[in-house]
Amino acid sequence: MRIPSVVTCVSMLLAGPACSSTTSPQTAGYSILFVGNSLTYTNDLPAMVERIAEIAGESVEASMVAGPNMAVVDHTPDGSEARTAIDQRRWSFVVLQQGPTPAGICRDTLVIAAMRLAPDIRAGGARPTLFAPWSRRTLPQSLGAATESATAAARAVGGIVLPVGDAWLTALSANPQLQLYSGDGYHPAPTGTLLAALTIYDRLLGQDVRDLPAGALAGITGSLLPPGHIAALLTAAHQASTGMVADPDVAVPVDTTVLSPGGGPC
């Protein structure tokens, strides 16, 4: 069963909710902290990962610290909610998420932010994990750079890459009728959050999501998904998860005094 958590969302003027989730001190097989923005808290991605684990018979506990329009660097100041959450318990993984990050100074900033948080993450026994997001619907050409940015940050801290954007591309190529995007063409629809959660579950736990009972997933988003859609999601998540090379645990820090060419906005 899902371990209960207390989630606090505070309204921010003109910006939407900022959310932090503090989980009860019960023990789970795996514990995951998500540090990110609205791509995480829209449709409650951590809760979706927990629900998938329940279906699989696994014990996973997931929490989040997330606010609107936040980059990973915004979570790095001393005393931030993210640092407090990282320090308050032992996690299995800490997932760092921001939007699709282009090359140049934006990528540099993501790498530096990951390197700032990694020592605390490692001190608590967790593995740093970088969320490689999907592109905006109108900018599919930006997906490659976004994945490269997340990978660069992961390699700098010996972390794991979650190829969520690759899963979206694979799923939409197989079935363009999938409703992965919400109306703004950027945030995930519930089906998009499900695909992200399946990819994360497959990658972090090493469990082939194609073995999950499709019938149990049919209503997980709140509306009934056709069997063909579920099959496309499961296949795309597993292909993205296993298609990326294994993540080395040895960090290769970069020279943060040298800036890459190319500016924002990030």
Q: Reduced to 3 states, what is the DSSP secondary structure of residue 146?
A: helix
Phi-psi region of 65 (alpha: psi -120 to 50; beta: other; left: phi over 0): beta
Cα 61 from chain centroid? 15
| CA torsion through residues 83, 85, 88, 94, sign | negative
Rounded Cα gap, residues 188 and 185, in angstroms: 8
Sorted by where each starts, the structural domains of the chain and their CATH numbers stand as: 28-243 (3.40.50.1110)
Sheet strands side by side (includes 30-36): 5-12, 16-23, 60-66, 30-36, 93-96, 127-132, 160-163
pLDDT tens sequence across 61-97? 999 999 999 999 999 999 999 999 999 989 999 999 9
What pLDDT is attached to residue 73? Answer: 98
What pLDDT is attached to residue 21? Answer: 54
Rounded Cα gap, residues 185 and 189, in angstroms: 9
Counted residue by residue, the chain has a size of 266
In this structure, which amino acid lies at residue 223?
A: S
Rounded Cα gap, residues 104 and 142, in angstroms: 13
pLDDT tens sequence across 165-176? 999 999 999 999
Q: Residue 30: beta bridge partners?
A: 60
pTM for this entry: 0.90
Please say whether the beta carbons of 140 and 110 come within 8 A. Answer: no
Cα 33 from chain centroid? 10
Give pLDDT tens digits along the chain (266 positions): 333 333 444 333 333 455 655 444 444 599 999 999 999 999 999 999 999 999 999 999 999 999 999 999 999 999 999 999 999 989 999 999 999 999 999 999 999 999 999 999 999 999 999 999 999 999 999 999 999 999 999 999 999 999 999 999 999 999 999 999 999 999 999 999 999 999 999 999 999 999 999 999 999 999 899 999 999 999 999 999 999 999 999 999 888 888 888 877 77
Question: Cβ contacts of residue 89 below 8 Å, gap of 6+?
Answer: 23, 25, 31, 124
Do you find a cis peptide bond into 265, omega within 30 degrees of 0? yes
In this structure, which amino acid lies at residue 251?
A: A
- CA-nearest of 81, 153, 170, 144 to 112 is 153
